[in-house]
Amino acid sequence: MLTRPLGTQGLTVSALGLGCMGMSDFYGHRDDAESTATLHHAVDRGVTFFDTADMYGPHLNEILVGKALAGVRNRVVIATKFGILRDPDDPSVRGVCGRPDYVRTACDASLKRLGVEVIDLYYQHRVDPAVPIEDTVGAMADLVRAGKVRFLGLSEVSAATLRRACAVHPISAVQSEYSLWTRDPEEGLLQACRELGVGFVPYSPLGRGFLAGQIKRFEDFEPGDYRRNSPRFQGENFQKNLDLVARLEDMAAARGCTASQLALAWVLGQGGDVVPIPGTKRRDRLDENLGALEQVLCPGELQELNGLFPPGAAAGTRYPEAAMHMVNR
């Protein structure tokens, strides 16, 4: 397995990680047995980087990941996140919190659920507009000094916020949605990461599974699937985005790979400091995704894909309006 560095503090992970959110939440039914088998299979295939968060489930995903990886703890890097609050009576209702006292409480809770003594990479999931980033990152830095966390990360932050955070403590990774149809990080965030020596972790590098070409009708989403409420999968947007995926499928067929492998190869081709974390809860999809590592694109192929998917090509915002307000821009 190829490896890539995240930041300049010594964190190194497999070139492709595994996003674990869908194993417990948001994308239809759960199958803990298959998810656990997928986690074990990932380790066997050389994946070392696993991404979860306290709000996935909520809480259930950290427990699942912790139990599945307990026997190989010294071989893996576990990343988790804090900062998004979900109403226990209505999980669709969410808020954010970055208060220093909450940072400490959330970390202790995640350590317990994961069953680990230290979290390898601890992200603030969303920036709390009511709390200066310096205060939140200061509390996160205290966790590093206390030996509870090894490296720090931020998720969905602006370049300006990242610069302020790095002035308090080194940030090893920034996580943000990034794919052929979500090019927002190219508007300054990727440049800031490179100037500051921060690794970049794209989540949803397959456009929430849509770029894999498996979703052809709105009815293909299970009842309760988050994507049923996402603007990119609504009405005319759905068909416009299907037309984009058809172009990707044609190029992938000509190359002899799958659409998902080509989409991931494009993300991997954006730089050696980029580590995508495609999510799956199935072993066969994991193997397909790992096949992207064999698809090394030349500059001309990268440029062709840039032309097929220019910034802004996807129809619809990537989150519903309420969730877009939680993104630090």
Would you state the structure tokens that stand for residue 154, as one six-digit string?
């931020």
pLDDT at 93: 66
Overall average pLDDT of the 101-120 stretch: 98
Q: Is residue 176 part of a domain?
A: yes
Instruction: Flag whether pLDDT at 216 surpasses 90.
Output: no
Name the pLDDT band for 137 (thresholds 50, 70, 90).
very high
**Residue 201, H or E segment:** strand 199-203
**Catalytic entry in 56, 122, 178, 226:** 56
DSSP class per residue in 23-78: GTSSSS---HHHHHHHHHHHHHTT--EEE--TTTTTTHHHHHHHHHHGGGGGG-EE
Q: Is residue 329 part of a domain?
A: no
Task: Give pLDDT tens digits for 288-301.
Answer: 999 999 999 999 99
Instruction: Flag whether pLDDT at 227 surpasses 90.
Output: no
pLDDT at 327: 82
pLDDT > 90 in the chain, percent: 85
Q: Is residue 307 part of a domain?
A: yes
CATH of the domain at 75: 3.20.20.100
Q: Is residue 303 part of a domain?
A: yes
Other residues' Cβ atoms within 10 Å of the Cβ of residue 260: 25
Dist CA 271 CA 269 (whole Å): 5
Instruction: Flag whether pLDDT at 94 surpasses 90.
Output: no
CA 315 remoteness from chain centre: 21
Task: Give pLDDT tens digits for 45-72.
Answer: 999 999 999 999 999 999 999 999 999 9
Task: For residue 130, give every residue at least 6 positions away whose Cβ sits within 8 Å of its Cβ, in sequence order, or none.
Answer: 98
Instruction: Flag whether pLDDT at 319 surpasses 90.
Output: no
The total domain count for the chain is 1
The dihedrals phi and psi of 71, each to the nearest 5 degrees, come to -80, -10
Overall average pLDDT of the 4-25 stretch: 97
Name the pLDDT band for 215 (thresholds 50, 70, 90).
confident
Overall average pLDDT of the 165-175 stretch: 98
Task: Give pLDDT tens digits for 232-242.
Answer: 998 899 999 99
Name the pLDDT band for 320 (thresholds 50, 70, 90).
confident
Contact between 79 and 122 under an 8 Å Cβ cutoff? The reply is yes
Q: Is residue 185 part of a domain?
A: yes
Contact between 143 and 128 under an 8 Å Cβ cutoff? The reply is no
pLDDT at 214: 83
Instruction: Flag whether pLDDT at 88 surpasses 80.
Output: no
β-strands 90-96, 84-87: how paired?
antiparallel
pLDDT at 83: 97
Q: What is the mean pLDDT of the chain?
A: 94
pLDDT at 58: 93
Q: Is residue 3 part of a domain?
A: no
- Domain interval for residue 86: 12-324
Q: Is residue 295 part of a domain?
A: yes
Let me know if 123 is a catalytic residue.
Answer: no
Question: In this structure, what DSSP letter does residue 5 have?
Answer: E
